[in-house]
Amino acid sequence: MKVQTPLMQVEKLSVEFGNKVRAVRDVDLTVYEGETLGLVGESGCGKSTLGKAMLRVIEPSSGAIRYRGLNITDLRGTVLRSTRAELQMVFQDPFGSLNPRRKVADIVAEPLLRARGADKKTARETALDLLDLVGLGREAGERRPHEFSGGQRQRIGIARALAPGPRFVVADEPVSALDVSIQAQVINLLADLTRDRELTMLFISHDLGVVRHVADRVAVMYLGEIIEIASRDAFFAAPAHPYSEALLSSVPQLSQEPRERIVLEGELPDPAAPPPGCTYHTRCRYAVDKCRTTPPPLAEVQPGRSVRCHLPLIAITERPNA
């Protein structure tokens, strides 16, 4: 097993919004250099907020963010700007993420001018090269965003994210707004670029099929907490948290025997008033009394695999052999 260096770490990170909603609650998460970590969970669970807090575009209310060992939680001004050149983001909405009034070349050149201090000519040349790299061609630079389709706009967004030469990229549901027929192209482009440029990526998605395709490890979020984190293969072979199991059972599959489909009942609880005990107990089909009173810790159940559950599913199956 190769040595893993942490690139991006958050420790006890919480993000609280004005209305007492804690969108992210005491999250510990490490993204290792060179890996793609898939962050999954349903809408409203706080995965985008966590991603944005890592990049310091949303201020955490407590906790620490470390990038290459350096605590960047309180960085300001010029230092923050120069650090952030290495931390970039690909957005979910291909329409809202590009300024409709600017030419595409200017949009992509902007981070080169500001974060890298490039001169106009170099920035423009690099921007056009990047547009070529993402498959749009250099002539795309003279046009404006509204002349492009959703998939093409995501390519522009990817070119812009690559422009300042990042090492860590948060891809926030980069394909969920796209037609299914386009999704694969954009996913493959992202995967290729990640490999070629040795990028580390936090890939946020609610689509487990997509995550399975791009991620090395998978983290599952529920109501602002990480409830399971595992390598991709281990996760998809046997989810350890009842919520992961329910999520996985909802993914359509072309496999052999028909699988039991676990339908989640009820709504996501109000994040302003999370249930006591395990936050998932209100919807969990295995819940026992302890789950209703005592919150389970995020505990390592196998090497490299942690679960926040009193009765993890893999422990249940392995206990007789132990």
Partner 1 sequence: MPAGRLRAAYSRRRVARSALGACSWAIVLLFVLIALLGPPLVGADPARQTSDAMASIGASGHLLGTDDLGRDMLARMLYGARPLLLVAFLSTALAAVLGVAIGLVAGFFGRWIEWVLMRLMDLALAFPAMLLIILVVAAWRPGVPSLVVGIGVSLAPGLARLTRALAAREAGRDYVLAARLGGTRAPRIMVQEVLPNIAGPLLAQVVMTLSVAAGFAAGLSYLGLGIQPPTPDWGYMVQAGQEFLYTAPRLVVLPAAATLIFVVACNFAGDDLRDALDPRGTR
Residue numbers at the binding site for partner 1 (CB under 8 A)? 52, 55, 57, 81-82, 84-85, 87-89, 91-93, 96-102, 110-111, 114-116, 146, 157, 160, 163-164
Q: How many CA atoms lie within 13 A of 182 on its CB side?
A: 14
Residue placing its CB nearer to partner 1 in the complex, 140 or 309: 140
Angle between helices 150-162 and 104-115 (to 10 degrees): 20
Cβ at position 172, least distance to partner 1 in Å: 9
Q: Which is nearer to partner 1, 146 or 290 (CB)?
A: 146
Nearest to 219 by CA among 13, 39, 47, 50: 39
Q: How far is the CB of 46 from partner 1 (least distance, A)?
A: 17
Cα separation, 67 vs 103, in Å, equals 33
Q: Which is nearer to partner 1, 163 or 223 (CB)?
A: 163
Closest distance between partner 1 and the C-beta of residue 116, in Å? 8
CB 178, min distance to partner 1, A: 15
Strand 299-302 relative to strand 305-307: parallel, antiparallel, unpaired?
A: antiparallel
| Residue (84 or 310) nearer to partner 1, CB | 84
Question: Cα Rg for the chain, rounded, in angstroms?
Answer: 21
Alpha-carbon distance of 111 to 165, in angstroms, equals 10
| Euclidean distance between CA atoms 98 and 243, whole angstroms | 35
For the beta carbon of residue 315, count every other beta carbon within 10 angstroms.
16
Helix (H, G, I), strand (E, B) or coil at 219: strand
Q: Give the shortest CB-169-to-partner 1 separation in angstroms.
A: 10
CB of 95 or CB of 297, closer to partner 1: 95
